[in-house]
Structure 1
Amino acid sequence: MIFDLHIHSCHSHDCNLSVDDILQHAVRTGLDGIAITDHNTVAGSLLAISRAKELNLPLIVLSGVEVSTSKGHLLVLGINENIPPGLSPEETIEIAKEKGGVVIPSHPFKMTGIGNVDRLDVDAIETFNSSCIFGENAKAKKMARSLGKGEVGGSDSHLLETIGFGVTEINSEPDEFSILNALRDGKTRSSGKITPNDIMFLRVIMGIRRRSQAFGRELHRIHSNLFL
């Protein structure tokens, strides 16, 4: 089965994709499954699970989140509750595993990654991220193999066009329990293609615009509280 395990929706501060659009595009792309992994919230993934069932889509949707730890980002799959951001990687992993989650460092060698994980109890490592263009994927793959960890791929998509650019081939039965265990057991393979520069540029612009809009709304709220 082929999954894109790293997709963002409008529940992330830097993305405006609707959950329905993501689901339908994933089906058109031919994916067997996805995980929506928004920044610090499982809301998008839980909505996706519900909507996929309502729309009767031939798509497996895993719950997930990309948690911002004090050192960088961690994907956690298979949980239905948020994990507080800003904790140490060790604390985040402990909470994630208490909730039954699968822990995967996302793009570990990007600026927002956590770097070397040899002392962390992670289940697998994201060794292909389609937004990594400076050799970070090769370093992540080398680390995963040296540590004997399973390899995961994801698009890190913030745009419909890039969904499926990074994927994980999972050797398991088509149910959530089996898939999560296959991720833990390393029954996976990562692959994909790098996002073209023009699409990367568009993603940056859209992210800046969305953050600017959020900042404007916050300023308006503060002004209203102070002067109205």
Structure 2
Amino acid sequence: MRFDLHIHSNHSNDSSLAIDDILKQAVKKGLDGITICDHNTVEGSLLGIRRSRELNLPLLVLPGMEITTTEGHLIVLGVRENIPSKLSFLETIRLTRQRGGVAIAAHPFKRVGAGYDAKYADAIETFNSRCIFGENTKAKKMAQESGKPEVGGSDSHILSTIGLGFTNIDAESNEESVLSAIREGRTRSSGQIIPLSAIFTQVVRGLFRRIYRI
């Protein structure tokens, strides 16, 4: 099964993507599942789960969010209530596990990543389509040296990049099976780097959103 485990919706302050548009694009791209992991909120993913069922789409949507910790970003899967931001990386991992979730170190070698603390997470994002300066290579090396499962995602903020980064998961099409497969390392990360044109599009849209808010 192919999952894009890192997509942002308009529930994040840096994306304008509507939930329904994300779901339809994911199906169009041939994905079996996704996670809408907005910054510090599960609301987008919960709406995605509901809308996928209402639209009767062949798409498994996992609950999750991308949490800002004091050391860097952490993707949390399998939780349906918000975990507070600005806690330590290790405390956020502890709370995630306490609630039955899976903690994934997002883009560990980007400026907002956790760096070598990523090895304490349940899995490491070793392919992120927006990592264009060798960060993925460093993340993969660390995951292999620490024996951590590897996942991939697009980190999409615009429709055209959904599915560029993905995780192949050896699991059945249900949440429990997928989360177990990630914990056990029955995964493989892959994909392609975001085109420069898409980076430009995202930057321009981000500027317009900031201007509009002002």
Give the TM-score, by structure 2 length: 0.98
* Amino acid of the structure 2 residue aligned with 1:205: V
CA distance in 2: counterparts of 1:96 and 1:123, whole angstroms: 10
Percent identical: 59
| Corresponding residue for residue 24 of structure 2 | 24
* Amino acid of the structure 1 residue aligned with 2:43: A
CA distance in 2: counterparts of 1:70 and 1:117, whole angstroms: 11
Structure 2 contact 15–157 (Cα < 8 Å) conserved: yes
| Corresponding residue for residue 61 of structure 1 | 61
CA distance in 1: counterparts of 2:176 and 2:119, whole angstroms: 26
| Corresponding residue for residue 168 of structure 1 | 167
* Amino acid of the structure 2 residue aligned with 1:211: R
CA distance in 2: counterparts of 1:18 and 1:6, whole angstroms: 15
Cα RMSD (Å) of the superposition?
A: 1.0
CA distance in 2: counterparts of 1:48 and 1:41, whole angstroms: 13
| Corresponding residue for residue 210 of structure 2 | 211
* Amino acid of the structure 1 residue aligned with 2:207: I
Rg larger for: 1
Q: Deviations over 1:136-168 (max 9, x none)?
A: 000000000001011100000000000000000
CA distance in 2: counterparts of 1:118 and 1:183, whole angstroms: 15
1:140-151 aligned at under 5 Å gives the runs 140-151=139-150
| Corresponding residue for residue 156 of structure 1 | 155
| Corresponding residue for residue 93 of structure 2 | 93
* Amino acid of the structure 1 residue aligned with 2:169: I
| Corresponding residue for residue 185 of structure 2 | 186
CA distance in 1: counterparts of 2:211 and 2:67, whole angstroms: 22
| Corresponding residue for residue 130 of structure 2 | 131
CA distance in 1: counterparts of 2:163 and 2:154, whole angstroms: 6
CA distance in 2: counterparts of 1:167 and 1:41, whole angstroms: 22
| Corresponding residue for residue 15 of structure 1 | 15
CA distance in 1: counterparts of 2:3 and 2:176, whole angstroms: 15
Report how far residue 119 of structure 1 moved.
Answer: 5.9
Change (3 A) 1:85 1:118: closer
- 5+ unaligned residues in a row in structure 2: which ranges? none
CA distance in 1: counterparts of 2:185 and 2:103, whole angstroms: 12
Q: Deviations over 1:82-109 (max 9, x none)?
A: 1111111011111111111100011000
* Aligned pairs, number: 214
Structure 1 contact 4–163 (Cα < 8 Å) conserved: yes
Structure 1 contact 13–211 (Cα < 8 Å) conserved: no
Report how far residue 17 of structure 1 moved.
Answer: 0.3
- 5+ unaligned residues in a row in structure 1: which ranges? 217-228
Q: Segments of 4+ in structure 1 off by > 3 A?
A: none
CA distance in 1: counterparts of 2:96 and 2:72, whole angstroms: 15
Structure 2 contact 32–58 (Cα < 8 Å) conserved: yes
CA distance in 2: counterparts of 1:175 and 1:189, whole angstroms: 18
| Corresponding residue for residue 199 of structure 1 | 198
Give the TM-score, by structure 1 length: 0.92
* Amino acid of the structure 2 residue aligned with 1:76: V
Change (3 A) 1:180 1:119: closer
Q: Deviations over 1:52-82 (max 9, x none)?
A: 0000000000001000001110000010011
